[in-house]
Structure 1
Amino acid sequence: MSISAGPVRGLLDAVQRGDNDGFAALFGEDGAVDDWGRVFTGRDEVYGWSAREFLGLGGRLTLRQATTDGTVLTVDITTRGGYNGPATLTFTLTDDGTRIRRMRMTD
């Protein structure tokens, strides 16, 4: 799994553009955002969460480091807009690798 291509790279690019439609489209039909324990499942909920709490507040990410462990990609970032500060995003992709199954946000 690589951050140079695929849905995680697409997500980072959508965030930098402020593209909420593009952001939500990268999740599978039952994809989820786990925002420090609050889970938003399905593209409509992911879109709504982002519109209210992330991209809708001007959220942006700065990539610090990315690591892969099997089928899980972990990205250390700094974020601004909504939450400001360092965070870790852990991505699990769909079996075919084309969509995000889950994005978990933690410290």
Structure 2
Amino acid sequence: MNSSPGHPPDTLLPTPVRRLLDAVDRGDSDAFAELFGTDGVVDDWGRVFVGREQVRDWSDREFLGLNGRLTVHRWSTQPPPVLIVTIGTDGGYNGPSTLTFTLSPDGEGIDRMAMTD
């Protein structure tokens, strides 16, 4: 696991993970949801949201819609890419989490983002 304040350098993260962090920084729900495609999954501590529409609805309700932000504390680029983050929202979850990513076969999107402790 690598660590540094703020986000890891762009060159150290797979493109879809970097794009996800950028979308979160901008508060861009469309760009965030697009990364998951038609079958991508967000696993929010066991609650599973499948496909672009469900991911967007989840984010609008519980993450970016509440001004959600991610502060990266540690990361690994070894398969699977993992980010150790603090999640901050206005009125939603605020605290530590581990985000584990499964990338799409073409490497351009995210098949799964699982949030755990």
* Preserved contact between residue 28 and residue 94 of structure 1 (Cα < 8 Å): no
- Alignment RMSD (CA, Å): 1.4
Kindly indicate which of the two structures has a greater share of residues assigned to strand. 1
Q: Please point out which of 68, 75, 81 is paired with 2:83.
A: 75
Structure 2 match to 1:10? 19
TM-score by length of structure 1 reads 0.93
Q: What CA deviation, in whole Å up to 9, does each residue of 1:4-44 have, x standing for no partner?
A: x5111000010011100010011121000000000000000
1:88 aligns to 2:98 (yes or no): yes
In structure 1, stretches of 5+ residues that fail to align are: none
TM-score by length of structure 2 reads 0.85
Aligned-pair identity (%): 61
Number of residue pairs matched? 105
Q: Whose radius of gyration is greater, 1 or 2? A: 2
Task: Give the counterpart letter for 1:6 in structure 2.
Answer: T
> Which runs of at least 4 in structure 1 moved beyond 2 Å after TM superposition?
none
In structure 2, stretches of 5+ residues that fail to align are: 1-11
Q: Secondary structure at the match of 2:40?
A: strand
Task: Give the counterpart letter for 1:103 in structure 2.
Answer: M
Q: Please point out which of 90, 110, 113 is paired with 1:100.
A: 110
